[in-house]
Structure 1
């Protein structure tokens, strides 16, 4: 489905706000929130949360959780309004927010229970992701139409800035032996790793 055939942001926003309210009012919501925040201690990629300037697990997890929930509400709305178009529902979003979506959906049993009870379906498939989020684009318009205002630009990072920060992170990772943005490394753990003095000196 092309962007010209997508439901209008006003319609998506209205339905997304309804979905988020229903999820928030669910008896299981508090458990979902707490479980999702626990998950951030267990797993994080090298190219999601670290894109946030001066990233702090303690300070950023809670606000990111709410951004992730809003994204899932928006995707649910588009999925419903396009008669189950999975590609259309995989909205363009910022990488750090996408990582929190993963953390929420990792609570698989609870998510299945909640969405079944509410008669909705959360949507997320990696093979549909495009990673070309544009500030001011369709996702932002739907977000605003839901009554949530403008996204927090600390977390909602457009593609050009994302690529710039990835270049910086890539250089930092390589300086301690991590290649391919953290997808491989050269360490065999046979001896202590000495950290270069430059690590941590560059701010994104």
Structure 2
């Protein structure tokens, strides 16, 4: 659904997002979802999101990343509620936080129940990420709205676009040395048959 042509003021989105986040956190099942995501870390197989964080450890970083992912989802939902425009609502997000949004959205059944009870949709569209083709950067709309709603971003996780790309190139070199190329989309690793 597309109805709007411009984003609302970041402060307007921030106020709405704060309310949405409160509603989601007040739902009895949300704690279970977040705790489950944090503990189910063996499925956080990600080679170009979390590893962009210096000395990354899913065990150490999961809780913070999940908190930021939920806040970002509240911002996206606020934009959607204010505009009715799913494309506008797909805000640019730093890569590690975006990857965590994907992990959070994997809790589909529980999130569906939370959406139904709170009346706030979880708005996330990978297709629209590619349509918008923008990367998060310091001072952009998402950054201003996030800080208006929730306070300063943590620079450990909110890696600007240019630095994220630099780190991805470092990873490209390391992964290529073991046969993983095309940003993890191609593998030249041959597995010997078991005896």
Check conservation: 1:13, 1:143, Cα contact below 8 A: yes
Tell me the residue number matched to 2:135.
132
Instruction: Structure 1 unaligned segments of length 5 or more: list them.
Output: 192-204
Tell me the residue number matched to 2:102.
102
Check conservation: 1:39, 1:103, Cα contact below 8 A: no
Q: 2:8 & 2:123 partners in 1: Cα distance?
A: 16
Tell me the residue number matched to 2:63.
62
Instruction: Structure 2 unaligned segments of length 5 or more: list them.
Output: none
Question: CA offsets per residue over residues 112-150 of structure 1, 9 Å max, x none?
Answer: 00011101111011111134111111001101111x211
Check conservation: 1:93, 1:131, Cα contact below 8 A: no
C-alpha displacement of 1:186: 1.5
Q: 1:104 & 1:162 partners in 2: Cα distance?
A: 22
- Of the three residues 145, 149, 156, the one matched with 1:142 is 145
Tell me the residue number matched to 1:201.
none
Q: 2:40 & 2:188 partners in 1: Cα distance?
A: 27
> Whose helix proportion is higher, 1 or 2?
2
Residue aligned with 2:28, SS: coil
Check conservation: 1:90, 1:124, Cα contact below 8 A: yes
C-alpha displacement of 1:183: 1.4
Tell me the residue number matched to 1:111.
111
Over 2 Å off, 4+ runs: none
Question: CA offsets per residue over residues 46-89 of structure 1, 9 Å max, x none?
Answer: 1111111111111101100100000000001000000x201110
Question: Which is further off, 20-29 or 31-40?
Answer: 31-40
C-alpha displacement of 1:181: 1.9
Tell me the residue number matched to 2:153.
151
Root-mean-square deviation (CA, aligned residues, Å) is 1.7
**TM-score, normalized by length of structure 2?**
0.92
Number of matched pairs: 188
Check conservation: 2:137, 2:161, Cα contact below 8 A: yes
Residue aligned with 2:43, SS: coil
Question: CA offsets per residue over residues 75-111 of structure 1, 9 Å max, x none?
Answer: 01000000x2011100010010001101111000000
Tell me the residue number matched to 2:45.
44
